[in-house]
Amino acid sequence: MSHFDESDAFEEAAGLSLSARAMAARPAPYLDGLNAPQREAVEALNGPVLMLAGAGTGKTKALTTRIAHLLNTGTARPNEILAVTFTNKAAREMKNRVWKLLGQTVEGMPWLGTFHAIGVKLLRRHAELVGLKSNFTILDTDDTVRLLKQLILAANIDEKRWPPRMLSSIIDSWKNRAWTPDKVPAEEANAFNQRGIELYHLYQRRLLELNAVDFGDLLLHVLTIFQKHEDVLAQYQRWFRYILVDEYQDTNVAQYMWLRLLAQGHKNICCVGDDDQSIYGWRGAEVGNILRFEKDFPGATVIRLEQNYRSTPHILGAASGVIEGNKGRLGKTLFTELDEGEKVRLIGHWDGEEEARWIGEEIEAMQGGTRGLDPVDLDGMAILVRASHQMRAFEDRFLTIGLPYRVIGGPRFYERMEIRDAMAYFRVACSPDDDLAFERIVNTPKRGAGDKAQQTMQRIARGNGVSLLEGARIAVAQGELSGKAKGEIGKLVDFFDRWHVHALDKSYNHVELAEIMLDESGYTEMWQLDKTPEAAGRLENLKELVKALDQFENLQGFLEHVALIMDNETEGEGSKVSIMTLHAAKGLEFPSVFLPGWEDGLFPSQRSMDESGVKGLEEERRLAYVGITRAEALCTISFAANRRTYGQWQSAMPSRFIDELPEDHVDVLTPPGLYGGGYGAAAPTVEARAAEANVYNSPGWKRLQQRQSRRPMSQPQESGNTVIDLDAISAFTQGDRVFHQKFGYGYVMGIEGDKLDIEFEKAGAKKVISKFIVSAERADDVPF
């Protein structure tokens, strides 16, 4: 039974060591292309090393060259190096680059991968130590949420008060901090969370029953094993003689503890990170891990990579100006030898649609070369947004004008409904006791098994201590199911019996078997009969899924892959503009970058600031830094005065980060005369246009901005208690005549918390945050 085709990575070593030794003492031409600190980082092989590598300073180069050097000098064999990354993409790239540096000599680096992928490998070997079987299933977020929902309902808890999603993220955050259910500290166990901890216990117990783990468990279980079984830990401490960690600033507590345990003996650990690019705090990442490094590994060599090879001085200057607003940085001074280049361009727009239209036009112009710049290929351009819903405006616009684009990190292939359904069939065929998978498809396509029938099966399964599939079998045999369900479920059970046998005996190859399953189950037919517009695409996706299976040995191997590798590299042919979130853009670079949506509330995100106060704001600022530093030659920042959110028009102020851009590096573009008409009846007023065009330069705006920054809006707030801005509340009542900087005069029609519904005389009805409003009499105090 090969649930994972890793053979034995350690035994493999024997063969590989030959090639490693053969390479020993070879010349090292790869060292030539390095600058001094990079070279130092590569050559300091022994002992703890902390590499602080700013954006674009050749961090991956240093890291991969270091691996190459370890191998080339015969210091370590491929299997003795543990190299962890956060994304599969980074792992892949690292592998490729090591290969390139050394030629094709090195066959495998079995322990180069993401924390999660390595966690799976380790956990499969020692599953029994935490009460699992080594063929455990890996649940994704969707499975997790469904499971929690069942537990919540079973515990008679109000689903509204404890939404499964929320519980899922709380449990995940506990796991990130390496808290098993009994280790959740008392201060978390307030009245509200007491139930949460109970549910966490129940959840973990249920996972063991299901022989399943979630993402967090992949790390946490391994950590538990290391902590409780000294012999196992000692074994790995010996095996992993050299440890390398990429994107160290993104490690969470559990990962940190994991690394520290493994490195304890020899202390040959090299961590690479940039505190200014720490953008995963919300996922439990602890920038503090960087700061702790020197404490935990005294005498560590600290190397700073500060020469930037990517961006022009203007771009770098703008990015530095913004990030300087953060306190407590380790501090790096990036420099570059590149030519000055273009300033960062800044432009404001009336609304989000216009922003998309303008960017579309700019992109088309840049393709042909504009303002004396060389033409830029579409592949060299990217639009980086704060939140994925912003992507829509661009997709709409680009579809209209026929501009090819690619969305990176959008709704992923493996998260699509039809793919998950199909995989649920595969899962049950491979592991008949995968209840979650069975439950997912028991009535898809419709088999007449609704709530009642499903409850019956559940009850029987629980009563007999068997899987749901067995429960279904018994229910059929005992005639406990009604008319249609009885026959259909009976058939389904028979099918699964057959498929399971085939999955084991390989009388069909797994691709054929997958097709048979989808056909016999009626799943394909279900979509063929579906006349909705999506149906065709879904069938297409199913075909693609079957095609993807071909690259794997068997179904298990495929399922394993999918569980961990949720990314879909749609290597579409042809040149395309990329649209993605700022988070997804980390590590990438483009000649020309657009950063739209720089409005307070959107970016920095209001939610982030409300939930995490100054810490949240600083993380947002790092996101801004990451965004700007993605650009090589040209960076264009924009904001819109109005944007549709939840179907309602909302106005917003330009982002505070815009004011933090050093003026020397910024070129404020005046919007071209785009307002000539075509906006329908609600054409912007003269005032609105004027305000909009000058919004960045106007003294009034500056003053308003300053006044705001003195307000306690970015103070950390007690979670759960919204601090009410008394100023704002008491300032207005219904019917007041008021003035807004952009919309002019109007009357207050309604009040909702700190938001006012205002009927503006010229700009129409708007919902506006009260701090942007003054009473009409005081309008003179706020000059344009």
Choose, by CB under 7 A, the member of 645, 694, 717, 775 that binds DNA: 645
d(CA 137, CA 427): 9
Choose, by CB under 7 A, the member of 608, 638, 655, 714 that binds DNA: 608
- Name residue 457's amino acid: M
Choose, by CB under 7 A, the member of 541, 605, 642, 714 that binds DNA: 605
d(CA 19, CA 689): 69
- Residue reference for tokens 């790995």: 236
- Name residue 756's amino acid: L
Binding segment toward DNA, per CB under 7 A, in 220-228, 287-295, 505-513, 605-613:
605-613
Does residue number 99 form part of the binding site for DNA (CB under 7 A)?
Answer: no
Q: SS3 for 507?
A: coil
d(CA 577, CA 586): 17
Pick the closer one to DNA by CB: 140 or 725: 140
Q: How far is CA 455 from CA 85, 481, 713, in A?
A: 43, 10, 50
Per DSSP, the residues of 543-555 read HHHHHHHTTSSSH
Binding segment toward DNA, per CB under 7 A, in 130-138, 275-283, 289-297, 629-637:
275-283
Does residue number 388 form part of the binding site for DNA (CB under 7 A)?
Answer: yes
d(CA 161, CA 619): 29
Q: How far is the CB of 411 from DNA (least distance, A)?
A: 10
Q: How far is CA 53 from CA 26, 289, 624, 629, in A?
A: 28, 15, 18, 13
DSSP label at residue 377? -
Choose, by CB under 7 A, the member of 63, 437, 513, 584 that binds DNA: 584
Does residue number 203 form part of the binding site for DNA (CB under 7 A)?
Answer: no
Does residue number 533 form part of the binding site for DNA (CB under 7 A)?
Answer: no
Pick the closer one to DNA by CB: 414 or 747: 414
Choose, by CB under 7 A, the member of 607, 707, 711, 778 that binds DNA: 607
Binding segment toward DNA, per CB under 7 A, in 330-338, 497-505, 516-524, 601-609:
601-609
Does residue number 409 form part of the binding site for DNA (CB under 7 A)?
Answer: yes
Choose, by CB under 7 A, the member of 27, 185, 574, 647 that binds DNA: 647
- The pairing of beta strand 773-775 with beta strand 737-740: antiparallel
Pick the closer one to DNA by CB: 214 or 433: 214
Tokens standing for residue 462:
């629980």
- Residue reference for tokens 């030794």: 21
Max CA distance (Å), the chain:
86
d(CA 516, CA 514): 5
Residue (of 85, 61, 81, 84) closest to 73 by Cα position: 81
Query: Any idea which residues carry the catalytic annotation?
Result: 59-60, 246-247, 277, 630
Pick the closer one to DNA by CB: 25 or 417: 417
Beta strands in 315-452 (DSSP E): 344-351, 381-385, 405-407
Does residue number 616 form part of the binding site for DNA (CB under 7 A)?
Answer: yes
Q: Is residue 56 annotated as involved in ligand binding?
A: yes
DSSP label at residue 350? E
Q: Is residue 55 annotated as involved in ligand binding?
A: yes
All residues at 6 or more sequence positions from 412 whose CB lies less than 8 Å from its CB, including other chains? 566, 567, 568
Choose, by CB under 7 A, the member of 46, 482, 570, 575 that binds DNA: 482
Q: How far is CA 120 from CA 597, 622, 634, in A?
A: 39, 31, 42
Does residue number 387 form part of the binding site for DNA (CB under 7 A)?
Answer: yes
d(CA 119, CA 121): 5
Does residue number 753 form part of the binding site for DNA (CB under 7 A)?
Answer: no
Pick the closer one to DNA by CB: 185 or 646: 646
Binding segment toward DNA, per CB under 7 A, in 428-436, 444-452, 655-663, 743-751:
444-452
Binding segment toward DNA, per CB under 7 A, in 28-36, 343-351, 360-368, 383-391:
383-391
Per residue, the 3-state secondary structure of 254-305, as one string, reads HHHHHHHHHHCCCCCEEEEECHHHCCCHHHCECCHHHHHHHHHCCCCEEEEE
Q: SS3 for 264?
A: coil
Choose, by CB under 7 A, the member of 116, 221, 740, 766 that binds DNA: 116
The residues in 660-689 that bind DNA, with binding defined as CB under 7 A, are none
The residues in 212-231 that bind DNA, with binding defined as CB under 7 A, are 215
Instruction: For the chain, state the CA radius of gyration.
Output: 29
- The pairing of beta strand 773-775 with beta strand 764-769: unpaired
d(CA 141, CA 40): 42
Q: How far is the CB of 595 from DNA (least distance, A)?
A: 15
Does residue number 570 form part of the binding site for DNA (CB under 7 A)?
Answer: no
CA 231 to chain centre: 36
Binding segment toward DNA, per CB under 7 A, in 165-173, 204-212, 293-301, 310-318:
165-173
Q: Is residue 57 annotated as involved in ligand binding?
A: yes
Choose, by CB under 7 A, the member of 199, 222, 419, 485 that binds DNA: 485
Does residue number 137 form part of the binding site for DNA (CB under 7 A)?
Answer: no
Q: Is residue 53 annotated as involved in ligand binding?
A: yes
Q: Phi and psi (nearest 5°) for 589?
A: -150, 150
Choose, by CB under 7 A, the member of 137, 443, 524, 636 that binds DNA: 443
Does residue number 702 form part of the binding site for DNA (CB under 7 A)?
Answer: no
Q: How far is the CB of 247 from DNA (least distance, A)?
A: 10
Q: 369: exposed, middle or buried (C-beta count within 10 Å: 0-12, 13-18, 19+)?
A: exposed
d(CA 62, CA 68): 10
Q: How far is the CB of 326 from DNA (least distance, A)?
A: 16
Does residue number 156 form part of the binding site for DNA (CB under 7 A)?
Answer: no
- Residue reference for tokens 């095609």: 547
The residues in 70-89 that bind DNA, with binding defined as CB under 7 A, are 86-88
Q: Is residue 60 annotated as involved in ligand binding?
A: yes
Cis peptide before 604 (omega within 30 of 0): yes
Does residue number 764 form part of the binding site for DNA (CB under 7 A)?
Answer: no
β partners of residue 272: 51
Choose, by CB under 7 A, the member of 566, 686, 723, 729 that binds DNA: 566
Choose, by CB under 7 A, the member of 26, 161, 389, 547 that binds DNA: 389
Total chain residues near DNA (CB under 7 A) = 47
d(CA 604, CA 113): 32
Pick the closer one to DNA by CB: 534 or 664: 534
Pick the closer one to DNA by CB: 60 or 169: 169
Site of interaction with DNA (CB under 7 A):
86-88, 114-116, 141, 159, 165, 169, 172, 215, 279, 282-283, 386-389, 409, 443, 446-453, 482, 485, 564, 566-567, 581, 583-584, 605, 607-608, 611-612, 616, 644-647
**Feature table: binding site for ATP:** 53-60
**Feature table: binding site:** 53-60
